[in-house]
Structure 1
């Protein structure tokens, strides 16, 4: 069956009462799905299908931040939207994230999340 999806808006699905084990299974199912972001916090899962507008806005923010860091001679490493996790409790994918200075940690020093709201 074929159907039209409105790609102009972010699509969200939130479900509560999900174990960490089940979340990891869901996460594995979306591993090759670009444009899908998964979040988990203490039993609540959010699946976000980001819109083209969302991605464009995220790209503009990345460009502006990169320009600022270069102009101010701030060492940085863009780490994109890699998954940051606290085993068994939380998992998140920022739109953009950065290690600042000589930081080499697994948790970003700066994470940016684009959120569109109505109104």
Structure 2
């Protein structure tokens, strides 16, 4: 009986590192808005744009895996205007979405990157001004 208990205890102790090992966690160490993306890099970084501009939200994602998904959610004055799901192609991935600012887009904008559970991983803000 004691030998069985010792064996079971030993198996539990040996299994602890595998149990305690954390699953990779999606993180976004870099994000921002700009006037474009060139060679997978954000260009024209700003926090002010005008009606008629295209604004690009760019994110660098780490800790994911091929097939994981994130979502870019665009909000104007707190109201959701656009939500785009994006599929990652690996553990280190850069991805982006864009929005054209039409008349009526003036105001404060927030763009969020969210994981599949809806957790906010990154947020950036900008203002749209009249032309």
- TM-score of the alignment, normalized to the shorter chain, above 0.5: no
Calculate the TM-score normalised by the size of structure 1.
0.27
Calculate the TM-score normalised by the size of structure 2.
0.25
Bigger Rg, structure 1 or 2: 2
Q: Which has the higher contact order (CA 8 A, sep 6+)?
A: 2
Q: Which has the higher strand share?
A: 2
